[in-house]
Structure 1
Amino acid sequence: MTQSESPRHEDLPLPDYDHLPLGTLPSRISGLDESAVNQLLEYERSHGNRLPVVQVLEHRVEALRSGAEPSGSANPDTPEVTSARGGSPVSPETSGPPVNPPSQGVPTNPAQPRH
């Protein structure tokens, strides 16, 4: 496959591929067959070309060629990463108690009296 023929993101066997942490990649690709892993490898080489990711994918292709079997699915137990909606998940109901400065003053300015 040439760079102009690299797989499109929409066609990848893992829809959240671009957002997978490297540490979860081996378990997420364990259910893929050789063709699907090769598709990810071609996509990676033509886009990010991150050496650690390429090495994980190449190792899996070699394992499959050596007789390893896909585990059945692309590990559905691993949560998919979704885009952040912005804002903090902390609310007044979930935040901790207020922190009061010590009686001798504010820690960052000891000369400042306590309110």
Structure 2
Amino acid sequence: MTDSARTALPLPDYDHLPLGGLESRIRSLTADQVDELLAYERAHADRLPVTEVLSARREQLRAGAEPTPGDPSALRPEQHGRTAGSPVSPATSPQPSNPPPHGTPDQRGKPKGDRT
């Protein structure tokens, strides 16, 4: 499948969706659209958890389930408003401490430069 065919998928960001986001987002698709995604998945990554989710949804639709809007708060990788990383900063870091010397856990450790 070419890049233009990949963007023509029912979910253009399909390749970047985490499984939790995919489960919610496919709720809005028709059975034919789910079939299209399932064929694409099998031809490319063929990830078992993804094919299981898509197959289960296809069976639900074939059994009479109706497409729904899905969860609008589902994980959406196309919305990168936040930066990743730790919220730790020098202001929130703990005071440095040294481990106690071996054999005497009740004594506080001393920096090597202060030993006499």
TM-score bracket relative to the smaller structure: 0.5 to 0.7
**Cα contact 1:29–1:74 (8 A) shared by 2:** yes
Q: Which of 22, 32, 36 is equivalent to 1:39?
A: 36
Assess, with a 3 A threshold, how the Cα gap between structure 1 residues 96 and 8 changes in structure 2: closer, same or farther.
farther
Q: SS where residue 28 of structure 2 aligns? A: coil
Counterpart CA distance in 2 for 1:91 and 1:100 is: 17
- How many residues end up aligned between the 2 structures? 103
2:15 aligned with 1:18: yes
CA deviation string 1:42-99 (max 9, x = no partner): 110111011221121111111111100001x24322131257xx98454636743343
Assess, with a 3 A threshold, how the Cα gap between structure 1 residues 91 and 23 changes in structure 2: closer, same or farther.
closer
Assess, with a 3 A threshold, how the Cα gap between structure 1 residues 93 and 13 changes in structure 2: closer, same or farther.
farther
Unpaired stretches in structure 1, ≥5 consecutive residues? 106-111
TM-score, normalised with respect to structure 2: 0.65
Counterpart CA distance in 2 for 1:81 and 1:94 is: 31
2:63 aligned with 1:56: no
Assess, with a 3 A threshold, how the Cα gap between structure 1 residues 74 and 16 changes in structure 2: closer, same or farther.
farther
Larger Rg: 2
RMSD: 3.3
Counterpart CA distance in 1 for 2:55 and 2:46 is: 12
TM-score, normalised with respect to structure 1: 0.65
User: Identity rate of aligned residues, in percent?
Assistant: 40
Counterpart CA distance in 1 for 2:110 and 2:88 is: 29
Stretches of 4+ aligned residues off by more than 6 angstroms: none
